[in-house]
Amino acid sequence: MRSIEKKYVKNYIPSVNGTIKKDFNLSRLTWFKVGGRAEVFFTPKDKDDLINFLKKLDKDAPLKILGAGSNILVRDGGIRGVTISLVKSFTEISYLKNQKVSAGAGVNCIKLSRECTSKSLTGLEFFSGIPGTVGGAIKMNAGAYGQETSDILEKVITVNRNGKVKEYNKKDLKMSYRKNSLRKGEIVIQAIFKCKIGKKITIQNNIKELKKRREKTQPVKLKTSGSTFKNPIKFKAWKLIKLSGCSNLKKGGAEVSSLHSNFLINYGVAKAKDVEDLGKIIIDKVKKKFGIKLDWEIKIVGTKNKYRKYFND
């Protein structure tokens, strides 16, 4: 196998220093706690391991990236090809000159917010309620209460599908509401944020206030993926959903949250299909009532039926 792996060879899994798991259960790694298995689940040991893997991986192999699974619905049939996770190894936070903070893509946003608070750095307070990773926050341009990731971002480092490292300044990424220009398969490995010096007590109080507001209006302790649909221009998705009579809709084990109509909940027995079908019913009802087509904010990945194997054993 070693000689074969010098170059990429179709349908073979390159050897790695990190871990490769086959037919790996993904449901416990997502907030919805639904969905199938990854054909190959790769946790790179470090940046070089990731780069070498991508260089050797055949270019047709399907590739997905999973962060903290807080904005993703994995279908019941699972994910064909490779799913990559950086949450175990890309977890370094370091403090640079001029209140800049570097964070690995696997760092949890809540943790980053807490660490910056402890250093009296202000700017990332809104991350305190976003249960995703830094990589996921950049991909989604995550935001809350009037702030977005792009507001505080300075640079992003990625590895592309061919294993090439790239560095972007924020403006290169053309970030807007839950959007940016990163290419398909491009993996964020590190980000640099520009904070400011603040007063620790003020930062702490801001975070407390945001937490209170969130807990009053969002089911943050349930199996959900946050906002299901993007807000259409000039409208709030939750309001359109509520006014379309969807407040108490159910499908299998999935339900619309009674606290926030744009949150879907798995009450324990849902399948991914229930969540997706419930979302489709909502899209239809809102379209009929208001003529507005809701767009999914949640990323839906994988196949409905068990994935067809890509790799040879």
For the annotated catalytic residues, the residue numbers are 178, 227, 297
* Max Cα–Cα distance, the chain, nearest Å: 62
Q: Which is nearer to ligand FAD, 136 or 198 (CB)?
A: 136
Q: Which is nearer to ligand FAD, 74 or 285 (CB)?
A: 74
| Contact letters for ligand FAD, residues 29-58 (x by CB under 6 A) | --x---------------------------
- Specify whether the CB–CB gap between 78 and 301 falls below 8 A: no
Minimum distance, C-beta of residue 230 to ligand FAD, in the bound complex (Å): 10
Q: Which is nearer to ligand FAD, 94 or 217 (CB)?
A: 217
Q: Which is nearer to ligand FAD, 2 or 216 (CB)?
A: 216
* 130 in contact with ligand FAD (CB under 6 A): yes
Stretch that binds ligand FAD, among 3-11, 39-47, 69-77, 280-288 (CB under 6 A): 69-77
Kindly give, in sequence order, each residue whose CB lies less than 8 Å from that of residue 141, ignoring residues fewer than 6 positions away: 148, 149, 150, 175, 176, 177, 178, 179, 180
Q: Alpha-carbon distance 301 to 194, whole Å?
A: 32
- 175-214 residues near ligand FAD, rule: CB under 6 A: 187-188
* 105 in contact with ligand FAD (CB under 6 A): yes
Stretch that binds ligand FAD, among 70-78, 229-237, 246-254, 305-313 (CB under 6 A): 70-78
Q: Which is nearer to ligand FAD, 228 or 244 (CB)?
A: 228
- Is 186 buried (19+), middle (13-18) or exposed (0-12) by CB count in 10 A? middle
One-letter amino acid of 258: S
Neighbouring-strand partners of residue 38: 24, 79
- Kind of pairing between the strands at 37-43 and 79-85: parallel
63, 112, 116, 140: which one binds ligand FAD (CB under 6 A): 140
- Kind of pairing between the strands at 72-74 and 19-25: unpaired
Q: Alpha-carbon distance 36 to 210, whole Å?
A: 34
Minimum distance, C-beta of residue 219 to ligand FAD, in the bound complex (Å): 7
* 71 in contact with ligand FAD (CB under 6 A): yes
Minimum distance, C-beta of residue 7 to ligand FAD, in the bound complex (Å): 26
Q: Alpha-carbon distance 149 to 188, whole Å?
A: 14
